[in-house]
């Protein structure tokens, strides 16, 4: 029973409860950096770290947090983890830190993190909340990584900065510009929904 619950907690955010393509939450902070795969990986790792650990911490304190100032406390805890991500990046990955610029700080307002804290961590044990946070982060990460993969490949012909497509390839500059992300995300959601809809009607 307990094992089944853990598994369910972990699987749901990857598929039918995916925060990005089902709930369309939290894309703000990361969409802007999806024009490069490397930046997206670092950014999504940061989001996973924050979601998992802030859910965990909030769950530990869940019986102590006064309901009145709940949101403030949650924001404070989330912001603390984001600052940790920021400081660690600045110290150990200065080049990427520079490229991400203000977007690391914007993880704070990522709706997924707050959403998971409100909907799950406040009512569940720390261990389960950690898994839920991690899985939500993961469900978020892989969608953005797929988008980043196509944006970088089609936009510059490279992956992880390494030239993949030959000189015959004409870069689709539109992919690395702002509209590219909107179109990619829409196409991705479309494909996923079509597949789900077909499966459900069977």
Pairwise CA distance, residues 111 & 116, whole Å: 8
Nearer to other proteins, 123 or 182 (CB): 182
Q: Which of 41, 45, 111, 145 binds other proteins (CB under 8 A)?
A: 111
Query: Taking the complex as a whole, how short is the minimal distance between the CB of residue 29 and other proteins, in angstroms?
Result: 6
Contacting residue, 123, 127, 160, 183, with other proteins by CB under 8 A: 183
CB 57 within 8 A of CB 77: yes
Q: What angle do CA 124, 125, 126 make, to 5 degrees?
A: 120
Interface pick for other proteins out of 10, 61, 149, 150 (rule CB under 8 A): 61
Min CB(172)–other proteins separation in Å = 12
Measured CA to CA, the distance from residue 155 to residue 133 in angstroms comes to 32
Beta carbon nearer to other proteins, 5 or 171 = 171
Q: Mind giving me the DSSP string for 100-160? A: HGGGTGGGGG-HHHHHHIIIIITTS-HHHHHHHHHHHHHHHHHHHHHHHHHHHHHHHSEET
H or E element that contains 162? strand 162-163
Distances (CA, A) of 48 to 25, 37, 195: 14, 16, 26
Instruction: Mark 29-58 with x for binding to other proteins (rule: CB under 8 A) and - for no binding.
Output: x-xxx-x-----------------------
Does 5 engage in binding with other proteins (CB under 8 A)?
A: no
- List contacts with other proteins (CB under 8 A): 21, 24-29, 31-33, 35, 61, 64-66, 68-69, 71-73, 75-77, 79-80, 82-84, 86-88, 90-92, 94, 98-99, 101-102, 105-106, 108-111, 114, 155, 173-174, 176-183, 185-186, 189-194, 197
């Amino acid at each position: 029973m307990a094992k089944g619950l853990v598994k369910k907690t972990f699987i749901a955010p990857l598929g039918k409860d995916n925060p990005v393509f089902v709930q369309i939450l939290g894309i703000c902070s990361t969409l802007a950096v999806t024009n490069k795969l490397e930046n997206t990986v670092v950014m999504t790792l940061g989001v996973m770290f924050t979601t998992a650990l802030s859910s965990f911490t909030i769950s530990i304190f869940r019986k102590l947090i006064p309901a009145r100032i709940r949101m403030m406390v949650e924001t404070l805890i989330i912001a603390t983890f984001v600052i940790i991500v920021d400081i660690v990046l600045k110290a150990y990955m200065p080049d990427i830190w520079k490229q991400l610029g203000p977007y690391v700080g914007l993880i704070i307002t990522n709706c997924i993190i707050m959403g998971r804290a409100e909907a799950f961590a406040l009512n569940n044990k720390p261990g389960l909340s950690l898994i839920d946070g991690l899985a939500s982060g993961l469900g978020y990460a892989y969608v953005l990584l797929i988008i980043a993969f196509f944006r970088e490949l089609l936009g510059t012909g490279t992956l992880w900065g390494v030239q993949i497509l030959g000189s015959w390839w004409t870069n689709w500059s539109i992919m690395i510009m702002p509209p590219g992300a909107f179109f990619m995300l829409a196409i991705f959601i479309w494909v996923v929904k079509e597949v789900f809809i077909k499966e459900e009607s069977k």
